[in-house]
A and B are shown apart, each in its own frame.
Chain A
Amino acid sequence: MKVSDFKIHHVGVAVSDIHSAASVYRENGYLCTEPVFDPIQNVNICFAEKPDELRAELIEPASENSPVSDVLKKNGGNPEVYHICYSVPDIEQAISALREERWLLVKPPVHAVACGNAKVAFLYSREAGLIELLEEKS
């Protein structure tokens, strides 16, 4: 099992101001959910969706301690796509397979409020960067 076997669910975009970012997406025909605070990542999250388009997850750091703060700092405070999220039917199985491929498990599976309490986990590869896995049972 490899990342190429998974289906992309969304791209995660780090933003400094989630309301300003959502306004721009709305002006471009996206429907944006209301921001939700995610205590696991210490961020505010909303989804921007449009039929037949890739879904974007807008992620705003809720404090300086958020890992997303570093991403923005490195990019001069400008928005940056910093992870791709893949939908998987069994998150534990997918993590095991990726660990064998030398992906680093950064955040173990937790229930994410912004994703309807579905389980999410984060993994990292130096070559491919950060990915999120979202468990979606079929």
Chain B
Amino acid sequence: MNNDISPRLENVFKTTLGIKTVPAGLSQKNCEAWDSVNHLNLILALEAEFGVTFEPEEIAAMQDLSAVESHIRTKI
């Protein structure tokens, strides 16, 4: 993560999931803390941090860091 929204995004992930590092390949499949409940907490935290809203189909699609970042970029 080496762009302008990265620090904010990284901070949201660390705070919400309680993880120390945010590797580029982070996904629901390789992160135990990123379960279905924390996924919703993550989406709410992202909405608050970036002042955006997500639709249910976007919430379902944001299953890894790359997808999350892409969806945010389309909205800010």
Count contacts between A and B, CB distance < 8 Å.
33
User: Is B56 touching A126 in the complex (CB atoms < 8 A)?
Assistant: no
Determine if A107 is an interface residue (Cβ-Cβ < 8 Å): yes
**A67 near B36: Cβ-Cβ < 8 Å:** yes
The interface size bin for chain A is: 10 to 19
Give how many B residues have a beta carbon under 8 Å from the other chain's beta carbons: 14
CA distance A33 to B41 in the complex (A): 34
- Contact present for B56 and A124 (CB under 8 Å): no
Q: Is A32 an interface residue (CB 8 A)?
A: no
In the complex, B31 has a CB within 8 A of chain A: no
Check A70 against B37 for contact (C-beta < 8 Å).
yes
A106 engages B59 (CB within 8 Å) = yes
Asked if A126 and B36 make an inter-chain contact with CB atoms under 8 angstroms apart, the answer reads no
Give chain A residues whose Cβ lies under 8 Å from the Cβ of B15: none
Q: Check: B6 CB closer than 8 A to any chain A CB.
A: no
Chain A residue contacts of B9, Cβ below 8 A:
none
> Cβ of A74 < 8 Å from any Cβ of B?
yes
Could you tell me if A124 and B53 are in contact, using CB atoms closer than 8 angstroms?
no
| Residue in A closest to B35 when the chains form the complex, CB atoms | A70
> B44 at the A/B interface (Cβ < 8 Å)?
yes
A108 touches B56 (CB 8 A): yes
A105 at the interface (CB under 8 A from B): yes
B contact residues around A106 at 8 Å (CB)? 40, 56, 59
Q: What is the minimal beta-carbon distance from B46 to any residue of chain A, in angstroms? A: 10
**Interface of B toward A, CB cutoff 8 Å:** 35-37, 40-41, 43-44, 47-48, 53-56, 59
Q: A104-B40, A106-B56, A124-B44 are in contact. List 8 more A-B contacts (CB 8 A).
A: A67-B36, A70-B35, A70-B36, A99-B53, A102-B48, A104-B47, A106-B59, A124-B40
Using CB atoms and an 8 Å cutoff, list the residues of chain A in contact with chain B: 67, 70-71, 74, 99, 102, 104-108, 124-126, 130
